[in-house]
Amino acid sequence: MQKVGTFLSGMIMPNIAAFIAWGIITALFIADGPFPVGGIGGFGENDAGEPNIGLVGPMIRFMLPLLIAAQGGRMVYGVRGAVVAVVATMGVIVSTDQPMFLGALIMAPLAAWVMKQIDKLWDGKIKPGFEMLVNNFSAGIVAAALAVAGFFAFGPVIEAISRGLGNGVDWLVDNGVLPSPASSSSRPRCCSSTTPSTTAC
């Protein structure tokens, strides 16, 4: 379990800067931010009357999961694994409207591992001069197959798992097992364990 946690954190930690960048852009340029810009924050319409896509939505839906996927694939099988992992994860991402961080954490290392095992089948058996051709075509075929599989199989399953986990957290909050942000923020200051008070809270 510790090795799995270490591996997953290794996929996330190198991309923390990207999460910070997304947070800064979101905080500053969304409609409720101090400097609202529709073209960046993704609200309102452009001059052609079309909804602004912005940066905030595409970054959290596509960029961040794909960065995680690239790192996970690289950890398993180098640059070759990273390429296959990104393509495969893209199939999971477009299968749902939710940000697929969980999908990237699962699909990316799996795709890289599959590519690694397939490469072992013809390792040392390719005629000289055909290595690049075979390697590129095999990676492209495997990546395409995994992307399609991710769209039809992995995406819906992972979305269901994500929704189930979210419902579980909501249940814990509703039943008082976990404190809700609203209740903690509305707690009177005099009730703080570090702030004695003689008044009723």
Q: For 155-172, what is the HEC assignment?
A: HHHHHHHHHHHHHHHHHH
| R_g of the chain, CA atoms, integer Å | 23
Q: Look up the domain containing 113 and give its range.
A: 2-44+51-118+134-168
Question: Residue 73 has which token pair?
Answer: 């694939």
State pTM to two decimals. 0.82
Whether 180 is in a domain gets the answer no
Helix, coil or strand: residue 51: strand
CA 120/CA 124 separation, integer angstroms: 9
Whether 186 is in a domain gets the answer no
Question: Residue 4 has which token pair?
Answer: 């799995």
pLDDT by position in tens, the chain (length 201): 888 899 999 999 999 999 999 999 999 999 999 999 999 999 999 888 999 999 999 999 999 999 999 999 999 999 999 999 999 999 999 998 889 999 999 999 999 999 999 999 988 888 888 989 999 999 999 999 999 999 998 888 888 888 888 889 888 888 887 776 555 444 544 444 444 444 444
**In the chain, how many domains are there?**
1
Whether 97 is in a domain gets the answer yes
Length of the chain: 201
Helix, coil or strand: residue 131: helix
Whether 111 is in a domain gets the answer yes
